[in-house]
Amino acid sequence: MQLQVNNSPFNQEQVDLLNRLLPSLTDTQRIWLSGFLAASAQNQAASGAPAAAPLATSAAPAASKEVTILFGSQSGNAHGLAKKTAKTLEASGFQVTLSSMSDFKTNQLKKVEQLLVVVSTHGEGEPPDNAISFHEFLLGKRAPKLDGLRYSVLSLGDSSYELFCKTGQDFDKRLEELGAVRLFDRVDCDVDFDEPAAQWLQGVVGSLNQAQAGSGAVAPTVPTAAAAATTESAYSRTNPFQAEVLANLNLNGRGSNKETRHLELSLEGSGLNYQPGDALGVYPQNDPALVDELLAATQWNPEEQVTINKQGEVRQLREALIEYFDITVLSKSLLEKLTPLAANKEALELLASDRLKPYIQGRDLLDFIREYGPLQGSAQDIVSLLRKMPARLYSIASSLAANPEEVHLTIGAVRYEAHGRERKGVCSVYTAERLQPGDKIPVYVQQNTNFKLPENPETPVIMVGPGTGIAPFRSFMQEREETGASGPSWLFFGDQHFVTDFLYQTEWQRWIKDGVLTRMDVAFSRDTEDKVYVQHRMLQQSKELYAWLEQGAAVYICGDEKQMARDVHRTLVDIVEQEGGVSREQAEEYVAAMQKNKRYQRDVY
Amino acid sequence: MATTKLSRPDGPPSDVERIKHESNYLRGTLAESMLEPLSSGISDDDNRLMKFHGSYLQDDRDLRNERQKQKLEPAYQFMLRVRMAGGVAQPEQWLVMDELANKYGNGTLKLTTRQTFQMHGILKWNMKKTIQEIHQSMLDTIAACGDVNRNVMCNPNPYQSDVHAEVYEWSRRLSDDLLPRTRAYHELWLDEEKVASSPEQDEVEPMYGPLYLPRKFKIGIAVPPSNDIDVYSQDLGYIAVVEDGKLVGFNVAIGGGMGMAHGDKETYPQLSKVIGFCKPEQIVDVAEKIITIQRDYGNRSHRKNARFKYTVDRLGLKNVKAELERRLGWKLQKAKSFHFNDNGDRYGWVQGVGDSWHYTMFVQGGRITDDADYPLMTGLREIAKVHTGDYRLTANQNLIIANVTPEKKAEISELIERYGLTDGKRFSGLRRSSMACVSLPTCGLAMAEAERYLPVLVDKIDDILDANGLRDEEITIRMTGCPNGCARHALGEIGFIGKAPGKYNMYLGAAFNGSRLSKMYRENIGEDEILRELQVLIPRYAQERENGEHFGDFVIRAGVIAATTDGTNFHE
């Protein structure tokens, strides 16, 4: 029987989830689940409190054989002790995951059942460098509930400092606050740490072994609500979701000519879903400084109430110009409406001449008004001619599987000077200069079915994404890592300078190390005398690249259309011609066939 | 005579021993690491080997946390140190260093406390070009770091040039003779073809062997009455003995070293001890045999206890001397008497023998750079373009423009004037006697500022000195960012070792001439407390000192601090 809203007490989302889950259960699972639900309902009734972590009715939960050891180390002592701990536990038959805190993916934390923390404190109570971000995360408000986690902390320090072993104490206290339970009490070690550390290790091993011995048969695990719901979100382009900014940082190091923002937004509660390759629509705001200049040039009253749309919504003029109207793009159709109102009648000549096209390039409403104004008519008359602020689309740089209820963007801040004024990209500079964590920004998901990972996870992928073109490939890699896709992957990235412009550098390094990313070639055009771009790197590897194509690799290109994508396309044909030993025409057909078979996809702008 | 059986400490070899062992005479996987394109860093193992080639990987620690958040690896860069015995350089070499620092480095040069050039901020892909250009200038970076004999120091002594020339010649002989023999450097950096046949192990490094030394090894030669090179701080020190204006030989001193570790009393700074006298032509032989004793008996288990000073203290000075004489096959003569006045530099113009002139310039922290109001780097570049003599880098991080002909003196004086360069006489005696290691932001070991902060602290101490009429009093002040002691902190009358950002251990009581170590006076204090202590000590010194009494001697006589009579009681 199919559950429905009208034949069950569930809402639509729940019905959908249950209908997906129930048919997949085996008989044993069905029986267990009914017993589990009955038992937890009894518990709840008896205690009057919400059910605690799911307990199997028959046996205590099995103590896991898996132990995660996280270390934060400045001088290497904590690292050494963590390694020693891992060795000892492995010798006792435990499966150990050993990681520095900086390498540990925080979204894995909830999956950990037994955690050992070995961390030093340096300076005046500060965490070591490779513990800073994890410390910040765990002590911050984004730390998850950790009910069911068992843990112990070994902290290293120097008692001649006032805040002796503070970092270890922080972790110990915080883990408890998050609901975790100590499996052995924290030990604080002074400079001479060997003995107390050995005692801690002995205690931890004892406690872990005891838990092992005390556990019964393997308890059934509760199946997690499978796969994200496919229900349509209530939010769309016309009804954007107000996404909270979780993080907003510059990916370019000091001294760079560029500024590339990495934006993390929360989709919590939106029901919005996306696939790698999709884009996010973002509604920005105009620069208040520009709006004020416009108000000064027109001598409009900023506080005047204006109607902003056909529905008759009313806003203060200044606010409307910031949030609602497009004031930065001059289009021919807009000028056709504005020129009759312009005091300077040369505007009409401009409209009729072939100077119009170059004129509107890089100029905005303020330029026009300064040159040809003032305009006849009220503020309301003029703003009614303006179009609504359009959304900007950005290739999504994250995978939902890796970052549930989050979406990440990679946005290059656009700033340049033209026609005697400094110009700023509306959305990019809005995010770069004014959008703070905690702020909300209207967004929606724009599907892009033409830029999708191969359905077969074993298919090799070749990704070419210089500059912000890197964004979707971060999403691809996150997805392939989460799904455990086994196909090889090869990324070409380029930008100006290695030291400052290697976007997401440490993430690629980790993926290479972990084998998620098979190869990576980089081209930094301004580090060498002769400028090297991604297509040059492709050509240098032409033999290997062609071999990948012959093995069925899918090719993805993302980024600048006019220069990069054309050069890369030409290079691809060159490689097929050269390595395949075929004519130019045949090489072009080869690439065209790839395109047709969705083995050559582009997301260019 | 009963011979004592010598032995090496028990224990498994340290990780660095493994790296050396696996390195095939300092090659490791450096060739591949230097080409790896996704990181500007290299592996820890290769970085250990890099030291033997005169360089190591660092990062700009000012940017470390910021870059981590930006998902960028640390701002990795290489430090590169030149091997330049006795600190002697030619004007053409100065111009090459200047050019390389600006082209590949961070635009500054550091004159080190061991009389050589150091560059910072070189990116991985520029290392080979930099080393090749240094090579073309007839210098190299071999063994400037690593577990080998380091840059040999030598008193620059420009006012006694005849003896200096001879002593310098011996320092150069030592430097060349004690070099590693492996061709790894030439293959890796200078594109030398690999020799096909693999020679017997003994032939590759006849003196060092495949594992090199347990730790770094330092040699310095002093010419009394100046102890500018801090001869007692060296693993092996030679003290020139000059009779009737002629060099007759050297007193031999062994077992000095500055480094220690916070909170570990098994580690301590130590001063070398004089064990005898040898003739000039014997000093290379003495050095080789001393090095082989350290090679055979040094601690290869614990690097913190691996310096030769610990070997000497563990085996006993007498036993080490006996072993040395056994290996030499002859006996050292009785040490000759000598006297040291100070361990500082003589600033300004000094006339040497013959017609030549020498100008000692004060270089704060040894840093050659252009500041808005002090174009030192530019000024020195202009001088190098016309200078016909040579340069001497001093052990106190200063610079001697040496062997200036009477014809050139006016021109160089004019350039010194034009760029406002200084012999330091406008500064306090304290600042002229100050020394700081590099520390933050590039040194990976630093716990607190040194080079960037000491000048600021000195400004504040100067106020106290001024108020007590001690502006011209020479008091040595030395600051290091960590306990390893690159600025020989334990021999500063006022010494600081970094503990944490803004926090230092403060040391007092070292001798003005470098013959006595200091002792810890206050632990883990900040600037306010440092100044509060000196606001008491300096006025007392001004009022209570005896005629000619130095600050380091005064604090002991006044009972402020106990004298450290040996490194082994440094912590007591």
Q: Are residues A271 and A165 in the same domain?
A: no
Question: Of the residues B20, B48, B51, B81, which is catalytic?
Answer: B81
Element (H, E) at A596: helix A584-596
Q: Are residues A276 and A138 in the same domain?
A: no
**pLDDT(B102) > 90:** yes
* Percentage of residues of chain A with pLDDT beyond 90: 62
pLDDT value of position A51: 38
Higher pLDDT, A572 or A59: A572
Q: Are residues A170 and A272 in the same domain?
A: no
Q: Give the helix ranges, DSSP H, for A373-430.
A: 379-383, 426-429
Q: Are residues A217 and A84 in the same domain?
A: yes
Q: What is the mean pLDDT of residues B159-186?
A: 92
Residue A253 resides in a domain: yes
**pLDDT(A503) > 90:** yes
Q: What is the mean pLDDT of residues A30-51?
A: 50
Set of chain B residues whose Cβ sits within 8 Å of the Cβ of A503? 71
Q: Are residues A220 and A103 in the same domain?
A: yes
Residue B321 appears among annotated catalytic residues: no
* Percentage of residues of chain B with pLDDT beyond 70: 98
Q: DSSP label at B156? A: -
List, as residue ranges, the binding site of A.
120-123, 156-165, 328, 392-395, 410-412, 416, 425-428, 525-526, 531-535, 567, 605
pLDDT value of position A246: 97
Question: Of the residues B218, B307, B478, B488, which is catalytic?
Answer: B218
Residue A537 resides in a domain: yes
Set of chain B residues whose Cβ sits within 8 Å of the Cβ of A398? none
**Which residue is listed with tokens 């629509």?**
A281
pLDDT value of position A116: 96
Q: Are residues A220 and A91 in the same domain?
A: yes
Asked if A122 reaches chain B (Cβ–Cβ under 8 Å), the answer is yes
Distance CA B328, CA A129 (A): 50
CATH number of B348-359+369-419: 3.90.480.10
Q: Are residues A203 and A85 in the same domain?
A: yes
* Percentage of residues of chain A with pLDDT beyond 70: 88
**pLDDT(A95) > 60:** yes
List of residues 6+ apart from A155 with CB closer than 8 A:
A119, A120, A121, A165, A167, A168, A169, A171, A172, A186, A187, A188, A189
Q: Which of residues 161-190 of A touch B (CB under 8 A)?
A: 161, 190
| Amino acid making up residue B237 | G
Closest alpha carbon to A452 in A482, A479, A492: A479
- Mean pLDDT over each residue of chain B, to the nearest integer: 95
**pLDDT(A566) > 50:** yes
Q: Give the helix ranges, DSSP H, for A189-231.
A: 194-214
**Under an 8 Å CB criterion, which residues of B touch A?**
37-40, 63-73, 75, 123, 125, 262-264, 447, 499-501, 503, 523-524
Q: How many helices (H) and strands (E) does chain B have?
A: 18, 22
CB B433 within 8 A of CB B425: no
CB A410 within 8 A of CB A246: no
Q: Are residues A477 and A529 in the same domain?
A: yes
CATH 3.30.413.10 residue ranges for chain B: 148-192+206-344, 429-569
- Angle at the Cα of A439 from the Cα atoms of A436 and A445, rounded to 5 degrees: 110
Q: What is the mean pLDDT of residues B138-145?
A: 96
Residue B216 appears among annotated catalytic residues: yes
Q: Which one of A160, A250, A522 has the shortest CB-CB distance to B37?
A: A522
Q: pLDDT category, A310, cuts 50, 70, 90?
A: confident
pLDDT value of position B1: 46
**Residues B523, A160: C-beta atoms closer than 8 Å:** yes
**pLDDT(A370) > 50:** yes
Q: What is the mean pLDDT of residues B214-225?
A: 97
Query: Which of the residue ranges A303-317, A531-545, B176-190 would you say has the lowest mean pLDDT?
Result: A303-317
pLDDT value of position B329: 98
pLDDT value of position A227: 35
**pLDDT(B422) > 70:** yes
pLDDT in tens, B106-125: 999 999 999 999 999 999 99
Q: Which of residues 497-526 of A touch B (CB under 8 A)?
A: 498-500, 502-509, 512, 520-522
Question: What size, in residues, is chain B?
Answer: 572
CATH number of B429-569: 3.30.413.10
Q: What is the mean pLDDT of residues A128-143?
A: 86
Residue A502 resides in a domain: yes
Q: pLDDT category, B228, cuts 50, 70, 90?
A: very high
Chain A residue nearest residue B39, CA to CA: A509
pLDDT in tens, B463-497: 999 999 999 999 999 999 999 999 999 999 999 99
Q: What is the mean pLDDT of residues A42-68?
A: 51
* CATH at A368: 1.20.990.10
* CATH at A144: 3.40.50.360
Q: What is the mean pLDDT of residues A328-345?
A: 87
Distance CA A452, CA A597 (A): 12
pLDDT value of position A25: 74
**pLDDT(A100) > 50:** yes
**Residues A191, B523: C-beta atoms closer than 8 Å:** no
Count CA atoms closer than 13 A to A209's CA, side-chain side. 12
**pLDDT(A22) > 80:** no
**pLDDT(A83) > 60:** yes
Q: Is the pTM of this model over 0.90?
A: no
Q: pLDDT category, A63, cuts 50, 70, 90?
A: low
Q: What is the mean pLDDT of residues B148-156?
A: 96
CB B367 within 8 A of CB B310: no
Q: What is the mean pLDDT of residues A218-225?
A: 33
Residue A77 resides in a domain: yes
**Residues A522, B524: C-beta atoms closer than 8 Å:** no
pLDDT value of position A223: 32
pLDDT value of position A124: 76
Q: What is the mean pLDDT of residues A211-236?
A: 51
Set of chain A residues whose Cβ sits within 8 Å of the Cβ of B123? 498-499
**pLDDT(A577) > 60:** yes
pLDDT value of position B200: 65
Residue B443 appears among annotated catalytic residues: yes
pLDDT value of position B39: 97
Q: pLDDT category, A354, cuts 50, 70, 90?
A: confident
Q: Are residues A266 and A326 in the same domain?
A: no
Residue A488 resides in a domain: yes
Distance CA A151, CA B192 (A): 56
pLDDT in tens, A393-419: 999 999 999 999 999 999 999 999 988
Q: Are residues A406 and A466 in the same domain?
A: no
Residue A561 resides in a domain: yes
Asked if A262 reaches chain B (Cβ–Cβ under 8 Å), the answer is yes
pLDDT value of position B519: 97
* CATH at A599: 3.40.50.80
Residue B154 appears among annotated catalytic residues: no
Q: Are residues A273 and A342 in the same domain?
A: no
Secondary structure, 3-state, B458-500: HHHHHHHHHHCCCCCCCCCEEEECCCCCCCCHHHCCEEEEEEE
Set of chain B residues whose Cβ sits within 8 Å of the Cβ of A132? 65, 68
Query: Which of the residue ranges B155-164, B166-175, B390-399 would you say has the lowest mean pLDDT?
Result: B155-164
**pLDDT(A6) > 90:** no
Residue B145 appears among annotated catalytic residues: no
Asked if A251 reaches chain B (Cβ–Cβ under 8 Å), the answer is yes
Residue A9 resides in a domain: no
pLDDT in tens, B301-334: 999 999 999 999 999 999 999 999 999 999 999 9
* CATH at A430: 2.40.30.10
Minimal CA separation from B396 to chain A, in Å: 29
**pLDDT(A226) > 50:** no
Q: What is the mean pLDDT of residues A373-390?
A: 90
**Residues A124, B501: C-beta atoms closer than 8 Å:** yes
Instruction: Report how many domains make up chain A.
Output: 4
**pLDDT(B384) > 90:** yes
pLDDT value of position B3: 58
**pLDDT(A7) > 70:** no
Return left, alpha or beta for A138; rule: phi > 0 is left, psi -120 to 50 is alpha, else beta: alpha
List of residues 6+ apart from B54 with CB closer than 8 A:
B80, B81, B82, B83, B140, B141, B142, B143, B144, B145
Q: pLDDT category, A28, cuts 50, 70, 90?
A: low
pLDDT value of position A58: 38
Instruction: Choose which CATH entry (3.40.1790.10, 3.40.1010.10, 3.30.413.10, 1.20.1250.20) describes domain B148-192+206-344.
Output: 3.30.413.10
**Which residue range(s) make up the domain with A175?**
66-228
**pLDDT(B14) > 50:** yes
pLDDT value of position A75: 66
Q: Are residues A170 and A301 in the same domain?
A: no
**pLDDT(A229) > 60:** no
Residue A3 resides in a domain: no
